[in-house]
Structure 1
Amino acid sequence: MPEAVAVIETMGFPAILAAADAMVKAGRVTLVWFDKAESGRFVVAIRGPVSEVNMAQAAGIEAGESVFGGEVLTHYIVPNPPENVINVLPLEYTEAVERFR
């Protein structure tokens, strides 16, 4: 089954928390990466079937923007990412997230 990777970047932690929560509840996706960017920005990445990732990211964007003061800065989906993207970027299904697949 074709998989996709999606990322959302927000300003502030409450917005990324709301986005991540909404994404994992809206679709059959796995949160594979989270990190602080710079200047109060946060990034979260999910993986799963393309149709589920599309649905989950839309829910995450809506939730991130609905938080008081929340702002979604960027978002992007990579359907069927090539193997080198998965191997180089921190998007693998690790042992810590494997049980949530």
Structure 2
Amino acid sequence: MRKSRFTEQQIIAMIKEHESGMSTSEVCRKQGISDATFYKYKAKFGGMSVSDAQKLKALELENTRLKRLLAETTLDVAVLKDLARKTTDARREAPRRGSGDEGP
């Protein structure tokens, strides 16, 4: 994922400028962003304080780490099941020794 040019603090400051009465176009021109980018930031960070934004980022990082661990674990389970199935199939197909059916 691409990293933003702005920190959470800067984004929240932009939103607060807008809430204090500055027009959207002025805030966007001042910061060098598009209206769409501003509204995307506002949807994500609107009504948050800086500490809330930092907690959100920490939770997102933790969620990403947990998703990666889950994917790795699921892959490990799939590999182990496949290996167990192949081992079971190989044992079924192998000739049995000492069954007495063989000639002298």
TM-score normalised by structure 1 residue count: 0.24
Q: Rg: which structure is higher?
A: 2
**Richer in strand (by share):** 1
